[in-house]
Amino acid sequence: MTDTATEPSRETSLKGSRGGAAGDKVFSGLALAAGIIILLVLAFVAVFLVIEALPALWPTVFSEQDSIESADTFWQYVWPLMAGTLIASIIAIIIATPVAIGIALYISHYAPRSIATPVGYVIDLLAAIPSVVFGAWGMSVLAGAMVPIYGWLHDYLGWIPLFGGSASTTGRTLLTSAVVLAVMILPIITSLCREIFLQTPKLHEEAALALGSTRWEMIKMTVFPFARAGIISSIMLGLGRALGETMAVTLVLSGGPFSWSLISSGANQTIPSEIALNFPEAFGMRQSELIAAGLMLFIITLVVNMLARWIVSRHKEFSGAN
Amino acid sequence: MSKRIDAVDLNVYYGNFLAVEGVNINIEPRSVTAFIGPSGCGKTTFLRTINRMHEVLPGARAEGRLLLDGENIYDPGVDPVTVRTMVGMVFQRPNPFPTMSIRDNILAGYKLNGTRMSKSTADGIVEKSLRGANLWEEVKDRLDKPGSGLSGGQQQRLCIARSIAVEPDVILMDEPCSALDPISTLAIEDLINELKDNYTVVIVTHNMQQAARVADKTAFFNIAGTGKPGKLIEYDETSVIFNNPSNKQTEDYVSGRFG
Amino acid sequence: MTTTKDTVQQRAPQTGRKKNSLTAGQMPRWTWIAVLAGALVVAAGITALLGGGGFSWVGWLIIAAVLYVLGMYATTSVLENRRRATDGFWRNLVWAAFILALIPLVSVIWAVIANGLPTLIETPQLLWRDMKGVTGADDIATQAEGATLAGGFLHGLVGTLMITLLATIISVPIGLLTSIYLVEYGRGGWFSRAIVFFVDVMTGIPSIVAGLFAFAVVQVVITTFIGDGPRQLQMVKMGLTAAIALSVLMIPVVVRSTEEMLRVVPNELREASYALGVRKWRTIFKVVLPTAMSGIASGVTLAIARVTGETAPILVTAGFIATTNWNPFDGWMTALPVYIYRQLINPTAPAAGDPSMERAWAAALVLIVIVMLLNLIARIIAKAFAPKKTGR
């Protein structure tokens, strides 16, 4: 086009060369294709997991066997695992949430700027540590440190079923796993909450302070009402992460059948950990069982995550989260 | 080089909203035309239809005809990219490409399109364009420095140089001085006066003194109320618009009695 | 602040050095030190009583902290008022939360360094040897007779490198193109909203499920096209399968960060380019992407850092072997996190676990260093190569 720029022939028509117009089509097509691939991948995740899980879900129809290997029915096999997964994750959430909200408030409303930034870095650092390292730490450092606490819980609170049973002497229990999970999801909840707290309209905060309220009253009056939906959805996202976390549980927990006791070794197991422990050696029906268990985990986390997104999108107009 | 512009019954829509209604205007080649009017009256919207830049916004479309030397740029089959190589545009805020040097900014119209040229040709274009924008003397020693290091007024002249480097026929300017200080504004206005020797210049401005200073002809746009379409009210010699307008609305506006 | 004080004093000299009425009713500055000292002493007493024979330092600190927070609340509400007491109470709790979060972080990093560094300094050969031919006998010899630590984790480094590289090659183009679609072409239509939603959903896929997915896909593909004999089933586990699993985890991260970066690119630059008669795809390639490049590169680096530490999806897709395998398309591969996991949970010599533990901690240290370096690089890229903002 530039070569013709000075030539008189250019004057003739607007409908000259459309050089490069094909490039536009090709490129927008590529971009669209990439988007479609993502949707396909997600659909494939569901479809392929279902295909591979079917023999375990309906053994009489989709396999030559009458029942699965590890139990009479798939549900009998999977419910203790689901219970273990949920209990560990919910305890982790209960431990992590107050601390995370505290740190988020510390960064957004308490610490001076010169401290808040490094603290943010430290939290990011915590998020960057690989899960296997957390697992190793939980197994060799935290588990040992928890033993006296378990003894104490057993002696004084043993009448509560959660602290019943025999106290572990190695500390490798579901509760220790839950603590490791709490440490791992702490940075996620913290950084999400921090974002939301920082979005509180400055005008509201200043109005509250101008009325003579203390800092805590200001936070109670302006920050929390504003951030409620955001906090709930951050907790849900943290829960989603805790449900799917594998290594922290696999390395820490010495698993077994379901038990209400959180402080005994050789009790309880979670889905991801069950898969990681058994999948490498599994084949045939056992493999299907594990994939079916994975499918259950997928469904649970999907529901939790969609719920979180739904809460955010419902409150988007005034929370500004996302 | 320079082309005349004729709009015939041009309507501009944003989705279903009629933003500008029934514009008929004839702009002579080698002249400066100013569009004035209150905010939201559609002058910028109409300006952007002259090089089909409004199409960048989702849902925007134009109906009617817009003729460049008698050829309708809205004919089916006309590529907006071709139109934009003939009709250049300078924006409200100076927007040199931050990743490019001054030299590369001038050559952006060629480089971005992948045109190959010899170094001497390129040097020629750079010098000619920068001289054309009265910027050569100020930047000739730092052509390889980033364009974002210049002052606001220099950046805006760099943007003008960038658009004349591709040798368009028409240059559209959308409030080119609204982000600049008075001295830089003066430099740009001087430049506009020189540009009309070679190009058709159309400028949108909020500043009526500026329109009076630079424009040969002035068009006044107005809007009847919020949600109503903008319309071309009056179009005449600049001196007539400012001293002896025929329309009451124009008179109210230029005399500051606009409410 | 001092100037303000001066002018106040000049304006009202008659007040002299008398107490400012605005500070009346406040407790003395040193109150908190007194309360802290009291809390420490009382806590020591309680700990000694409760603990029976031994004295628990951790218990002492925890009880002291609780007593301090409660004591400050009581003191403030007596000396000042309830509102200030509540304010101070929550401030102390927020501080406590921060300190509480520091404990595991410091503990984890200390554990890794204290356990890993001595081993790594003593036997740096770990870095360039694999586990080929290492048997339980070697470890028993190390533990019993103090022989040098056998084996190493070169195969883990190679596996992590190859798998991550392949995952990056798969996910960066898809992620980049998708975010370009979202920002430049989708324009908020239903399809782009659907993509945004499902990318969010994908962010929440548990990593082990991603591993199972990749395994299931490759298994279905191989059994359909190659056959379902035991040898074919053996082929399912390879570096490529692991890379697919990691891509599922990586793509959403890349899409989200790139999308954010593309949205930050000012529209003015796109318009400037269009006004010069440049086509959209060229504008995207030559103006939008270069402007956002530092942000994109930093986002991709963070995504790589995230998947480098993944264990579970690689464990179920690439398996683990003792030897170095450079070919991600054939045969099992060990990644560094999987190596750590296997050494911890399944020591080479079950009777002499210490050498395996030492190797695991050394590998953990190397892994943490790699991940932290990647994070650091991401930050440096984001800072150093960010183009200067347009404008004055």
pLDDT score at C248: 92
Cβ contact C281–A26 (<8 Å) = yes
pLDDT of residue C74: 83
Say what the pLDDT of residue C5 is: 44
For residue A279, what is the DSSP state?
G
Write down the domain spans for chain C.
Answer: 29-120, 154-384
- Per residue in B24-77, pLDDT tens? 999 999 999 999 988 888 888 899 999 888 888 878 888 889 998 888 888 888
Taking the alpha carbons of C129, C135, C141, C144 in that order, is the dihedral positive or negative? positive
The answer to whether residue C13 scores a pLDDT higher than 70 is: no
Confidence at C150, pLDDT banded by 50, 70, 90: confident
Condensed to tens digits (0 to 9), the pLDDT of residues A102-133 reads 889 888 888 888 888 888 888 888 888 899 99
Please list every residue in chain A whose beta carbon sits closer than 8 Å to the beta carbon of residue B81.
Answer: 18, 20-21
**A11-26: average pLDDT:** 65
CA B46 – CA B52 distance, rounded (Å): 10
Q: Which stretches of chain B score pLDDT less than 70?
A: 1, 258-259
Structure-block tokens of residue B106: 């001038």
- Give exposure, C196-226, as e/b (b: 16+ Cβ within 10 Å): bebbbbbbbbbbbbbbbbbbbbbbbebeeee
Handedness of CA C292, C293, C299, C303 (dihedral sign): positive
d(CA C55, CA C48): 6
For A166-215, what is each residue's pLDDT tens digit? 777 788 888 999 999 999 999 889 988 988 888 888 888 888 888 888 88
Task: Please provide the distance, in angstroms rounded to a whole number, between the alpha carbons at the two ends of chain C.
Answer: 33
Architecture of domain C154-384: Orthogonal Bundle (1.10)
Delineate the domains of chain B, giving CATH numbers in brackets.
Answer: 5-254 (3.40.50.300)
A263-295: b or e for each residue (b if 16 or more CB lie within 10 Å)? bbbbbbbbbbbbbbbbbbebeebbbbbbbbbbb
Q: State whether A6 and B167 contact (CB < 8 Å).
A: yes
| C343 phi-psi bin (left φ>0, alpha ψ -120 to 50, beta other) | alpha
Q: Is B4 left (phi over 0), alpha (psi -120 to 50) or beta?
A: beta
Span A42-50, mean pLDDT?
Answer: 85
Chain B residues whose beta carbon lies within 8 Å of the beta carbon of residue A16: 82
Residue B84 contacts C, CB cutoff 8 Å? yes
Share of chain C above pLDDT 70, in %: 90
Cβ pairs A/C, distance under 8 A:
278
User: Pairing between strand B17-27 and B5-14?
Assistant: antiparallel
Q: Report how far residue A144's alpha carbon sits from residue A150's, in angstroms, rounded to the nearest whole number.
A: 10
Residues of chain A found within 8 Å of residue B69, distances taken between Cβ atoms = 11
Element (H, E) at B182: helix B182-195
Helix or strand run (H / E) with residue B77: none
DSSP code of B87?
A: E
Question: What digits encode the pLDDT tens for the residues C319-360?
Answer: 888 888 888 888 888 999 999 999 988 888 887 778 888 899
% of chain A with per-residue pLDDT over 70:
91
B178 touches chain C (CB under 8 A): no
CA C143 to chain centre: 34
Looking at residue C148, what is its pLDDT?
Answer: 80
Record the tokens describing residue A283, joined without a space.
């084949």
CB contact under 8 A, B77 and A20: no
- In degrees, rounded to 5, the angle at the alpha carbon of residue B43 between the alpha carbons of residues B93 and B189 is 50
Question: Which pLDDT value is given to residue C164?
Answer: 95
Residue B51 C-alpha from the chain's centroid: 9
Q: Residue C329's pLDDT is what?
A: 86
The residues near B252 (Cβ < 8 Å, ≥ 6 apart) are: B258, B259
Instruction: Give the pLDDT of residue A2.
Output: 41
Residue B68: strand, helix, or coil: strand
Maximum C-alpha span of chain B: 57
Neighbours of chain B (3+ CB pairs under 8 A): A, C
C-alpha to C-alpha distance for B34 and B213, rounded to whole angstroms: 10
Encode pLDDT of C29-79 as tens digits.
777 788 888 888 887 787 777 665 556 677 778 888 888 888 888 888 887
Burial of C247 (0-12, 13-18, 19+ CB in 10 A): buried
State how far the alpha carbon of B164 is from the alpha carbons of B121, B174, B210, C71, in Å. 15, 15, 22, 75
Q: What angle do CA A79, A82, A88 make, to 5 degrees?
A: 140
Q: What are phi and psi of A155, to 5 degrees?
A: -70, -45
pLDDT of residue C135: 80
* Structure tokens, B230: 């903008």
What's the predicted TM-score (pTM) here? Answer: 0.83
pLDDT digits (tens, 9 = 90+) for A65-107: 777 777 788 888 889 999 999 999 999 999 999 999 988 988 8
Q: What is the pLDDT of residues C297-312, one digit of tens each?
A: 989 998 999 899 899 9
Q: Which two tokens stand for residue A145?
A: 């440190």
pLDDT computed for residue A18 by the predictor = 55
d(CA A207, CA A213): 9
Quote the CA–CA distance of B73 and B71 in Å, as a whole number: 6
CA dist B227 and C240 (Å) reads 58
B101 reaches C (C-beta below 8 A) = no
Partners of B159 on chain C (C-beta within 8 Å) are 272
Contact residues, chain B, for A1 at CB < 8 Å: 85, 113, 115
Q: Is C164 on the interface with A (CB under 8 A)?
A: no
Residues sharing a CB contact under 8 Å with residue B49, sequence separation 6 or more, in sequence order: B10, B12, B20, B62, B66
Residue A317 is predicted with a pLDDT of: 52
Number of Cβ within 10 Å of residue C21's Cβ equals 8
Helices (H), chain C: 2-11, 31-50, 57-79, 82-122, 136-145, 154-180, 190-203, 207-225, 230-235, 239-264, 267-275, 280-283, 289-308, 312-318, 336-345, 354-384
C337 in Cβ contact with C371 (< 8 Å): no
Which chains, if any, share at least 3 CB pairs under 8 A with chain A?
B, C
Give pLDDT, residue A302: 87
Distance from CA of B56 to the nearest CA of A (A): 14
Check pLDDT > 50 for residue C8: no
Report residue C348: phi and psi, to 5°: -60, -45
CA dihedral A88, A89, A93, A95 (to 10 degrees): 20
Cα separation, A199 vs A109, in Å, equals 11
Assign C180 a pLDDT band (cuts: 50, 70, 90): very high
pLDDT (tens digit, 9 = 90+) per residue, C222-247? 888 887 777 777 888 899 999 999 99
Name the residue type at position A5: A
Pair of tokens at residue A240: 């989603």
Q: Which architecture does CATH list for A73-319?
A: Orthogonal Bundle (1.10)
Residue C315, both tokens = 């464990």
pLDDT at A315: 67
Q: Do C391 and B146 touch (CB under 8 A)?
A: no
Tens digit of each residue's pLDDT (9 = 90 or more) over A258-294:
888 777 787 788 899 999 888 888 878 888 889 999 9
Q: How confident is the model at residue A13 (pLDDT cuts 50, 70, 90)?
A: low
